[in-house]
Amino acid sequence: MIFALAGNQNSGKTTLFNMLTRGNQRVGNFPGVTVEQKSGEIKYAKGNTVVDLPGIYSINPYSSEEVVTRDFLLNGKPDGIINIVDATNIERNLYLTLQLLELNIPTIIALNMMDEVRASGGTVDTRRLSELIGVPVVPISAAKKEGIAELVSTAVQTAENRMRPKIRDFCPEGPVHRCIHAVSHMVEDHAEKLGLPPRYAATRLIEGDDNGRFAESLGLSRNEVEMIEHSVLEMETERGLDRWAAMADMRYAFIEKVCKKTVKKTGQTRERQRSIKIDTVLTGKYTALPIFFGVMLLIFWLTFGVIGTPLSDLFLLGIDSLSGLIDDALTKTGVDPAIHSLVIDGIFSGIGSVLSFLPIIIVLFFFLSILEDTGYMARVAFVVDRLLRRIGLSGRSFVPMIIGFGCSVPAIMATRTLASERDRKLTIILTPFMSCSAKIPIYAVFCAAFFPKYAVYVMIALYLLGILTGILVALILNKTAFRGKPVPFVMELPDYRLPSPRSVLLLLWEKARDFLQRAFTVIFVATVVIWFLGSFDTGMNFVTDSSESLLAAAGRLIAPIFRPLGFGDWKAATALVAGFSAKEAVVSTLGVLSGVGVAELYVALPAMFSTLSAMSFLVFTLLYTPCIAATATIRRELGSGVKTLAVVLGQCVVAWIMSFAVFSVGSLFI
């Protein structure tokens, strides 16, 4: 049997999913972490599958992640729905519940966060609640692993016995009740043909905010549509509310009645009180932005200055001595010089130079995940909403952009949480300007070579430049191709919570695995290809001087494009092209082409770049085309090859212009 896990954002769906499947899905105190459905087997009830869905507030979706959930519920034919309800926020959560009940699928309520309710001295009469709502209610705490076994057995029983929700009377006699019944009756046959419950079809038609598309898909005749409209208009006049408000009012009135009988609250939970106190400072009118910038600076400083760099240096030493050992061994055994070169100059200097930056990336992710899991990031989205509005975005767009500091691929996927297509596309275009973590190795090597004393400042300056360029591009697009206003920003502010070590560790492990995987696949292949092209000439002879190689010939062809930027060297041009496969490949390529060990790369670079051209090179790598994985994601999310090409070319042009500006202005002073 298949169970769908449905509920509001941040109600604990993913936590419960992991509990049920002993899975490792990412949990975040942050709306929009789950944007795709994921399924797994329930460990306590073998043979049953549970599907984690993106959080929704209503079954009538506004954003594309919500569509994922609705489509699964309607078309995925789940045998049961486990509706997870946040007990600390029960009124709002039950709104969705009432809509889910209309789907007429066996449903049970998992009343989550009972630990918090208990701690604040509140109670919920779950027996009574279950009677009133007409479906089983199981109190649980996903985080504390309480009530899981009972939840599973209740869910399985409910689904096995096909116990449909009893929703006969949550709408009292009156105009709304009459309208729903009349419309249900009218569309019954049409709905059943599509396998939809008539009541669901009726309420969706009454609320109808999809320009009649749903009516069309039901195959209603013109006459029938008019009759429904007539019935709804009558209800509106009698009820004195518009259709949407009338339905919402009907649901909330019921919820209020139910909660009065079942929920005893003793004011706010401790978590909420604490959150409110913390928020007076962290989101205060004058304190919010300075604190945010302070926090970000601190994180970058710790990552690139205090913790990450020494760790990376240590790593580097390890890789370098290993490479030295193998080098000696190979020399002793006297293998073919081409093989020797492949192992040492190709694989070791290529992959090694990239691998040594793993610690920095892990440290950065550590801090970002702490920000996210505590619930702070959601606040910042709220705080920066006002600023983002000036450039035609809303606070919602902030979420993908911050994720973009890690990797553009999940960041671009996270844009699915944006409700309007305009906001979503604009955000997709801007996200790659947020410097992703794969570029860290490039910055780090160049900083070590050219600005060893100012490494931290150069790093921060690069990140800021990426953001500023993004803002500039946003301003331009907002005046041209993306005229219009961002939709109003509504996002739930989760309570501040201590991040769970498990969740943080999981994320770090995931990132490390991703990075290692890339190092040994894409970057490995790129390295070997570069080594090959850089070690043989047009006549397929092994050359010791790479400047006579095939690659040099090709590199020289494109190098002129970069000459005005100060780095017309064919090696730099080749490295940039290789960077399209993965940004780390820029470093591995430079390593292979300069034919030095990992640790000496920063010594070799000054032969290729001046300080100024190094700067313009960094600016170029910061801004130019996203890597192939990100480009493919953009293509998928924009749904257009032409537009994707425009985005990629646009970024290259922007990169060229900015880099040219840096180099020309710099030349005046140096």
Interface positions with Mg ion (CB under 5 A): 14, 33-34
Query: What are the E-state strand segments in 452-532?
Result: none
Write the burial class of residue 502 (CB in 10 Å: 0-12 exposed, 13-18 middle, 19+ buried).
exposed
Partner in contact with 633, chosen from ligand GDP, Mg ion, none, beta carbon below 5 to 8 Å by kind: none
Q: Which does 142 bind (CB under 5 to 8 A by kind): Mg ion, ligand GDP, none?
A: ligand GDP
Which residue is it, tokens 């599509």?
A: 194
Between 34 and 107, whose beta carbon lies closer to Mg ion?
34
Least Å distance, CB 79 to ligand GDP, is: 21
| Residue 116: contacted member of Mg ion, ligand GDP, none (CB under 5 to 8 Å, by partner type) | ligand GDP
Main-chain phi, psi angles of 76, to 5 degrees: -80, -5
Give the shortest CB-34-to-Mg ion separation in angstroms: 3
Min dist CB 7 to Mg ion, Å, is: 9
Which residue lies nearer to ligand GDP by CB, 5 or 105?
Answer: 5
Quick one: 148 or 282, whose CB is closer to Mg ion?
148
- Report the candidate in 670, 430, 656 with the shortest Cα–Cα distance to residue 564: 656
Residue nearest to ligand GDP (CB): 12
- Of 33 and 384, the one with the shorter C-beta distance to ligand GDP is 33
- Shorter beta-carbon distance to ligand GDP: residue 33 or 440: 33
Q: Which two tokens stand for residue 279?
A: 């928020």
CB of 347 to ligand GDP, least distance (A): 40
Nearest residue (CB) to ligand GDP, 65 versus 79: 65
- Give me the count of residues in the chain: 670
Chosen from ligand GDP, Mg ion, none, partner binding at 497 (C-beta under 5 to 8 Å by type): ligand GDP
Cβ closer to Mg ion: 413 or 530?
413
**CA of 34: how far to CAs of 8, 140, 301, 399, in Å?**
12, 21, 30, 13
CB of 16 to ligand GDP, least distance (A): 7
Is the Cβ of residue 109 or residue 444 nearer to ligand GDP in the bound state?
109
479 binds, among ligand GDP, Mg ion, none (CB under 5 to 8 A by kind): none
CB 26 within 8 A of CB 510: yes
Helix (H) or strand (E) holding 50: strand 49-52
The least CB distance from residue 505 to ligand GDP, in Å, is: 14
231 binds, among Mg ion, ligand GDP, none (CB under 5 to 8 A by kind): none
**From the CB of 436, what's the least distance to ligand GDP, in Å?**
24
- Least Å distance, CB 146 to ligand GDP, is 8
> Cβ 54 to ligand GDP, closest distance in Å?
8
Q: 10 touches which of Mg ion, ligand GDP, none (CB within 5 to 8 A by kind)?
A: ligand GDP
Question: Which residue type, as a one-letter code, is found at position 360?
Answer: I
Which residue, 72 or 536, has its beta carbon nearer to ligand GDP? 72
Note every long-range contact of 507-516, with CB atoms under 8 Å and residues 24 or more positions apart, other chains counting: 507/26, 507/365, 507/369, 508/362, 508/365, 508/366, 508/369, 510/24, 510/26, 511/361, 511/362, 511/365, 511/406, 512/358, 512/362, 514/407, 515/358, 515/361, 516/355, 516/358
Give the separation between CA 30 and CA 382, rounded to whole angstroms.
12
Signed CA dihedral, 450, 455, 458, 459: sign only: positive
Q: What is the DSSP letter of 109?
A: E
Return the one option of Mg ion, ligand GDP, none that residue 112 interacts with (CB less than 5 to 8 A, by type): ligand GDP
The contact set with ligand GDP (CB under 6 A) reads 7, 9-15, 27-29, 33-34, 55, 112-113, 115-116, 141-144, 497, 500
Q: Which two tokens stand for residue 352?
A: 């090694």
141 interface partner picked from Mg ion, ligand GDP, none, CB below 5 to 8 A per type:
ligand GDP
For residue 336, CA distances in Å to 330, 331, 340, 342 come to 9, 9, 6, 10
Q: Which residue, 82 or 612, has its beta carbon nearer to ligand GDP?
A: 82
Tokens standing for residue 604: 């070799």
- Residue 69 CB, shortest distance to ligand GDP, in Å, is 11
Determine how β-strand 38-41 pairs with β-strand 2-7: unpaired
- 496 phi, psi to nearest 5 deg: -70, 135
